[in-house]
Structure 1
Amino acid sequence: IRESYLEEIFREILDCKMMGIVNCVSPRVESAYRIATAQNNLLVEEGPDDSCIVIINKNNPLARYPQLTTGQLKELHLCFNPKRDQAFVYREIYQYFSNTIRGINIPQQENLLRLIALEPMLAAVLPKSALISQGEWSEKISGKTVADFPMPGKIWLIYPEKLSQEENTLLNILRDSFRILKNNILT
């Protein structure tokens, strides 16, 4: 089990014909991913919604709004992972953030979220599943959709057509986890 970038983890699942979970699969890449999984004898189950959202500090005045607009994003300084920047399917949203700082490069998601919890003017664009963390900072951040820039995505469970008994057991545990996420956390 490991965390990695969507493209990297997807490629590893295909190459190794293994079971894996990828988050925030966008409609922009969905058809290509479905073709690739079918060609590699892998099956796909869609999990819960995992749209990308803007993550901000709850002390920021924008946190009081149920949704943000691209016009409001100029009040926020963007933090992002430099390795992920070019591969991020919704990277066009970056242009709406404040240009007083060109962006703050933070290589790990955990550190990025911790920094946002400390500084009210910082923000990040991540899948909403990033908010599930149990760190001490998790109570200090909030996720907001952007009304005029939707960023839909789903969590996908990918696995080989033929599984061992142990792999089937793991698959059923993951399916149960998806149901819990869908019903309780990511709605």
Structure 2
Amino acid sequence: MGNSIVIKVATIYDLDGIIKLQTANQTFRGGTLSGELTAYQIKEMMTDMPQIIAKFDNEIVGFLLTTSKSVHNKREFPIVDAMLASYLGSPNSYIYGPICVSQNQRGNGLAQLMFQELLKLEPNREGILFIKSDNLTSLRAHEKMRMKKVSSFYFNNADFDVYAYFFPIKKDNNLIMK
């Protein structure tokens, strides 16, 4: 594998690395992730939709998790419920996030690379996500990916912005990113 970044769909063997990176980036540790998914929840998400990871020297340095609304509805996740109450999206839309890049890999375009991989695997579907309104780095990164703010909501004494995206695929398999 050498010293290059590999972007791929996560397997069950990547679960420990995803959990490790998620734990290291919780707000109480100085990170920006405001929720924590259990190993069981991530496994369930793996059977539902592609979970994208970035690996460097066999270590997970980034992840982009996704879930369908139907799998989300099987469990309580109040902040996602608040987002969906603010903006439900199209019938076939899915929930994007969380996305996380290890501190030593930030600024290298990994979020964009993982997002591009997701778009290849989930074409012609709307993705919906929320970002804490004061997380300027994440807001800028997602706007750079051409995501659009569609709503906002207040949850647990904090303001959040809701973003959505839909990039159709042409017949020649190229993205139409307007």
Larger Rg, first or second structure (1 or 2):
1
Structure with the largest fraction of helix: 1
Question: Structure 2 length normalisation: TM-score?
Answer: 0.28
RCO higher in 1 or 2 (8 Å CA, sep ≥ 6)?
1
Question: Structure 1 length normalisation: TM-score?
Answer: 0.27
